A and B are shown apart, each in its own frame.
Chain A
Amino acid sequence: MNKRISFSRIRESRLFWVLTAWAVILGFNALFVPEFFRIGIQDGHLYGNLIDVLNNGAPLMLVAIGMTLVIATGGVDLSVGAVMAISAAMGAVLINPAPGDKLVSNEILTRNATNTPLVIIVIATLAAGTLCGLWNGLLVSRAKIQPLVATLILMVAGRGIAQLISNGQIITIYYTPYFWFGNGYILGLPVSIYIVTAVAILAWVGVRKTPIGLFIEAVGLNPKATHYSGISAKNIQLLAYTFSGFCSALAGLILSSYVHSADGNNNGLNYELDAILAVVMGGTMLSGGRFSLLASVLGAIVIWTFTLSMYALGVPANALLAGRAVLVLLVILLYSDRRLIKRRSKSTPTAVQSQDEKPGLPHP
């Protein structure tokens, strides 16, 4: 009974930290950039910085959902950015109305037409990313390569593959139906947000309404014990990495549709760190174990709120890298500090009395 209450407290505290961080950033905005909160209606849909947070942050939220499951199994997926680039390149190449070595004129290239039906483009893009995820999963679960290294390989080679697909060019997309994913609106809200919600619900049902979520946590906490209790740790890992690949592919699709182009070098650049940051902010330990999908999505929202507020303040995009690094540092210190406090209170004799008070957690 007591145990159950403390578990729910931990989960509460997870969302608590993310929400606090968000509140701090929003509070800062309320004081210094009040126009950040302005939401207007244009052409029948909402616009404003808060809507942009949702729309621009959608790829990161997707990647963070996939990354959460991978990190919960005790691994990490560094290849997400490269997989995004691969899927973006895949989509752009299939659209390209002038395939092969045909004589291409500017008029043909900039035509609002496609070479392949949109459905097939979407399926092929997602399949490419899912295959990448499957490859990572096979390397980690079957070949027993450390996750860091296994995904590093695709992180290096992936951008090369993306450039191979797009023949080293930045492909600009002129096919308007493709833009719907990143720029379209349903009932006044961006399409991307519906996609994120759908994937999040799918993932939540998958991990919380079936035993898969429990298995993932078990693999993250102790793979050996999981193996001996008859759960196939291998297949759970494979599933997590494949799902992460699928999420990255979807993110790449939305991103390339939003920026109207595919660039093997820059699509999804630095998404690895952002996604890890979002997951860590959501309270999932990098060593694996318990996770929260909602907290990770909130973490992604916090990152984009921070980014867009800095833009609103006029900080140049490139210099913002340093700002985000400071954010990572703060999160690292915050979490490790909590762990240190816990450990210290265990080791010092005075803490023996206060041990059941669970130091480091907020009291309700």
Chain B
Amino acid sequence: MTQRLKLSVLRHGPLLMTITIFLMAYIIGAQLYPAMQRPQAFFNLFINNGFLLILGIGMTFVILTGGIDLSVGGVLALTTAASAALLNLGVSPLVVMPLMLVMGTAIGLGLGCLIHFFKVQPFIVTLMGLFFARGLAYIISLTSVTITDPLYKYLALTPIYLPFFAKAYIYIPTLVGPALLVVAIYLAYFTRFGRIVYAIGNNEQSAALMGFPVGRTKVLVYGLSGFCSALAGIVFSISLLAGYGQFATGVELDVIAAVVMGGTLLTGGVGNVIGTLFGILIEATIISILQYNGTLSSWWTRICVGVLTLIFIGIQSGFALRKKK
């Protein structure tokens, strides 16, 4: 019995640790700043970081295969710039949104093909993708473009009041992240695709020898990440009502840090999407504590994220060592 308990703790150790740290951070924040005790403060984490969650879900799948996708921020910025430009040309938003998703998926698939067929390291291909997408966004417009489309405005400004909580509200785009999370959990645990992703991450060669479509899955995973980036771009442009090539600089690192904090091993094969949710919640909590404090400057966020990533990698290697024994 105790043996079993020990095993399951070891197995879910990183995830439990992530959840504990999130709760601790939130409780400390709530003690320091009573304003954080309101339910709205909790929902604000989702409102402000919905796009991070979407990016994180795509990134988790990529990292599970043992790869990495540094292009997410670029594709996000390109999506905002391109959709703002198209909307200002008078194209219907119902055309623009699917078009952006197709574009993001296409970029992701292209990068995936480069990685798989030319056997180049994922990080350099996707770093190129980052530059390429941001460059394209600057070619579209060198300055920030405002979106005046009525549908975007409606989506951005209509609060949905939640039941059970007094005066707590979210916006429609906020729901995209959690909805995608449900889809991602289904994908990861209940489909062939998800199982193959884990198999590739554990050992690509044995996955190939078992007859799994390794190449197709790898390319698809980058396509999925591209899709998520474009979706995050749409959510981002709705919440800011603007498009600009300089949006979300450095976001790829925040996303990777969140995924690592969520217990996903960067070597691939181990981890889950739920952990990523809590990784992002930890980051969001740190940011909101800094905001509530007011005197601490924004760069502390970066330092905190860096230190937390370091701690979590330390914990991971600790668990990995103990498992080996």
Mark A residues whose CB is within 8 Å of B. Answer: 76, 139, 143-146, 148-149, 152-161, 163-164, 168, 264, 270, 272-273, 276, 280, 286, 316, 318-326, 328-329, 332-333, 336-337, 339-340
Query: What 1/0 flags go to B223-265 for Cβ under 8 Å of A?
Result: 0000000000000000000000100001001101100100000
CB <8 Å contact, B299 and A286:
no
B267 at the interface (CB under 8 A from A): yes
Complex Cα spacing A340 to B267, Å: 25
Give min CB distance, B107 to chain A, whole Å: 11
Complex Cα spacing A322 to B120, Å: 19
**A residues within 8 A CB of B124?**
276, 280, 286, 328, 332
Give min CB distance, B6 to chain A, whole Å: 25
CB <8 Å contact, B303 and A160:
yes
Query: What 1/0 flags go to B251-284 for Cβ under 8 Å of A?
Result: 0011011001000001100000000000000000
**A residues within 8 A CB of B267?**
146
Q: Enumerate the 7 nearest inter-chain pairs by beta-carbon distance, A residue then B residue, closest first.
A: A322-B135, A157-B306, A160-B302, A321-B135, A325-B132, A318-B138, A163-B299
**A residues within 8 A CB of B317?**
143-145
A318-B68 contact given A152-B253, A161-B303, A325-B129, CB 8 Å threshold: no
CB <8 Å contact, A148 and B129:
no
A160-B127 contact given A322-B135, A322-B138, CB 8 Å threshold: no
Which of A149, A286, A332 meets B128, CB within 8 Å?
A332
Complex Cα spacing A148 to B303, Å: 18
CB <8 Å contact, B297 and A340:
no
Find the B residue at minimum CB distance from A139.
B310
CB <8 Å contact, A149 and B313:
yes
Besides A321-B131, A332-B125, 17 other A-B contacts (C-beta < 8 A): A143-B317, A148-B123, A149-B309, A149-B313, A153-B310, A154-B306, A157-B306, A161-B299, A163-B302, A276-B127, A280-B124, A319-B135, A322-B134, A323-B135, A325-B129, A332-B124, A336-B120
Complex Cα spacing A321 to B317, Å: 37
**A residues within 8 A CB of B256?**
152
Give min CB distance, B103 to chain A, whole Å: 15
**B residues within 8 A CB of A340?**
118-119
Which of A146, A318, A332, A339 meets B266, CB within 8 Å?
A146
**B residues within 8 A CB of A152?**
253, 256, 309
CB <8 Å contact, A329 and B299:
no
CB <8 Å contact, A339 and B309:
no
**B residues within 8 A CB of A325?**
128-129, 131-132, 135
Complex Cα spacing A168 to B257, Å: 23
Interface residues of B in 121-162 (CB under 8 A from A): 121, 123-125, 127-132, 134-136, 138-139, 142
CB <8 Å contact, A332 and B132:
no
Give min CB distance, A279 to chain B, whole Å: 11
CB <8 Å contact, B299 and A160:
yes
A324-B266 contact given A153-B306, A157-B303, A160-B299, CB 8 Å threshold: no
Give min CB distance, A219 to chain B, whole Å: 18
Which of B68, B134, B298 meets A321, CB within 8 Å?
B134
Give min CB distance, A175 to chain B, whole Å: 25
Which of A156, A164, A318 meets B135, CB within 8 Å?
A318
A/B interface sample: 22 pairs, CB < 8 A = A76-B123, A152-B253, A155-B253, A156-B306, A156-B309, A159-B299, A160-B300, A161-B303, A270-B131, A273-B127, A273-B128, A276-B124, A318-B245, A319-B139, A321-B131, A322-B131, A322-B132, A325-B132, A325-B135, A328-B128, A329-B128, A332-B125
